[in-house]
Structure 1
Amino acid sequence: MAIDINTLDPARTIVVATGNAHKLSEIEAILSKSLSDVRFVALGELGDFDDPVEDGETFFDNALIKARAALDETGLALAVADDSGLVVDALDGAPGIFSARYAGEHGNDDANNDKLLHELADVAEPERSARFHSTVVLVERDEDGEGVLRGDGDCEGRIGFERRGDNGFGYDPLFLPDDTPGKTMAELTPDEKNSISHRFHALEDLRSKL
């Protein structure tokens, strides 16, 4: 059921630029430790809004685009947004900000993983280092302008040679985190994944600056 924006206190509401309930709960669980008197609501709970064009050159640029769009669309004063992706050293940082559309079609996980395996076909195990990166921003608007806080986080690991695991999404079946030797991200429980994820580290970094 949609939430009526008019019933929200703009000074005590943070709109999270997502329609993903899991992402909302993850963000709320960490940031509410420092923002206990604030209500977190997902943008998708406030209406059906078009996704902004993410044409930035960095994760920070795109996170900022999403947060600003959420404020423009809702008229609220506080927004949180994140942008994340896979960074592979042997591919000079690709797929990076294009992770979700690496193979051309946005959100086609199978095609993206196929392309990644193809691009790394001749790359030996020692050179398959990679990381998931996340940048989270908190944007506040008032009569004096706009303020921005950011947090950054990484989950270090390597790219495997074959898919393993049925949990997660995206590149999780190919990503072997350093923190869980022998297991891909898609072989972890949600709690195990959340405790080491790039978004977890980025949110903790942001929280340390509040």
Structure 2
Amino acid sequence: MKEIIIATKNKGKVKEFEALLTPLGYIVRSLLDYPNAIDVEETGTTFEENAILKADAIANTYQKLTIADDSGLAVDYLDGKPGVYSARYAGPEKDDIANINKVLKQLENVEKLEERSARFVCALALSIPGEKTKTVVGTCEGYISMMPIGENGFGYDPIFIVKGKEKTMACLTSEEKNEISHRAKALEKLKELIY
């Protein structure tokens, strides 16, 4: 079996990657398995730039196949914000509840669902030492709910109503989410690059 490093310490993301990559014959590692891993600063202005920065740094450090993602929420009414700042939208603490509350506060006077359109975006970078880094992008369209609903998932999942499902991402099972999520769509594209 081949080993692959997912350049994240986010247990929720690791779980999603394991569900999608283990059946392909990969042993999935994360930065949680490398306690002394460097902390790569996300200085890019796009999801793709940040994913490349992380993938290249980790792949070059450990000389192993590495996937990094940068993902987040883009709300049309907020001109694409929180965007690349999704994890730390309400501050450097990366507090999911504070981030959700900030988005809901900014949309409190927007009552029509169609005006609350948004998407989850996931850029994945595949870095193989000595080769050019490749990227793919996946999106999941939806709307921002008026309040958090659901217990599953992480991040903005409780306020993201999936288009066509009419319930939030946090109300989906992990199996349902893995079929339609932005990360699943990006990973589906990435599978073609891995083979």
| TM alignment of 1:102-141, pairs within 5 A | 102-123=89-110, 124-141=112-129
Q: CA deviation at 1:29?
A: 4.5
Residue 50 of structure 2 corresponds to residue 23 of structure 1: no
Query: Structure 1 pair 29/103, CA: closer, same or farther in 2 (3 Å)?
Result: closer
Q: CA deviation at 1:135?
A: 0.6
Residue 110 of structure 2 corresponds to residue 89 of structure 1: no
3-state SS of the aligned residue for 2:127?
A: strand
Q: CA deviation at 1:208?
A: 2.5
Residue 83 of structure 2 corresponds to residue 69 of structure 1: no
Query: Structure 1 pair 24/104, CA: closer, same or farther in 2 (3 Å)?
Result: closer
Match among 153, 178, 183 for residue 194 of structure 1: 178
Q: Which residue of 1 aligns with 2:88?
A: 101
Q: Which residue of 2 aligns with 1:3?
A: none
3-state SS of the aligned residue for 2:94?
A: coil
Residue 44 of structure 2 corresponds to residue 59 of structure 1: no
1:143-173 residue CA offsets vs partner (Å, 9 max, x unmatched)? xxx3112121111100011111111121111
Structure 1 window deviating more from structure 2 (163-172 vs 14-23): it is: 14-23
Residue 144 of structure 2 corresponds to residue 159 of structure 1: yes
Query: Structure 1 pair 30/148, CA: closer, same or farther in 2 (3 Å)?
Result: same
Residue 135 of structure 2 corresponds to residue 150 of structure 1: yes
1:89-143 residue CA offsets vs partner (Å, 9 max, x unmatched)? 111100000001111233211111111011112223221110100011111122x
Q: Which residue of 1 aligns with 2:154?
A: 169
The 1-side partners of 2:93 and 2:61 are apart by 23
Q: CA deviation at 1:54?
A: 0.6
Aligned residues: 193
Q: Which residue of 2 aligns with 1:208?
A: 192
For the aligned residue pairs, the C-alpha RMSD in angstroms reads 2.1
Query: Structure 1 pair 77/190, CA: closer, same or farther in 2 (3 Å)?
Result: closer
Structure 1 length-normalised TM: 0.82
The 2-side partners of 1:21 and 1:104 are apart by 20
Match among 24, 35, 48 for residue 47 of structure 1: 35
1:11-50 residue CA offsets vs partner (Å, 9 max, x unmatched)? x5322212345534533554566x64x5432232133324
1:44-92 residue CA offsets vs partner (Å, 9 max, x unmatched)? 2133324211111110111111112212432x14211111000111111
Structure 2 length-normalised TM: 0.88
Structure 2 unaligned segments of length 5 or more: list them: none
3-state SS of the aligned residue for 2:49?
A: helix
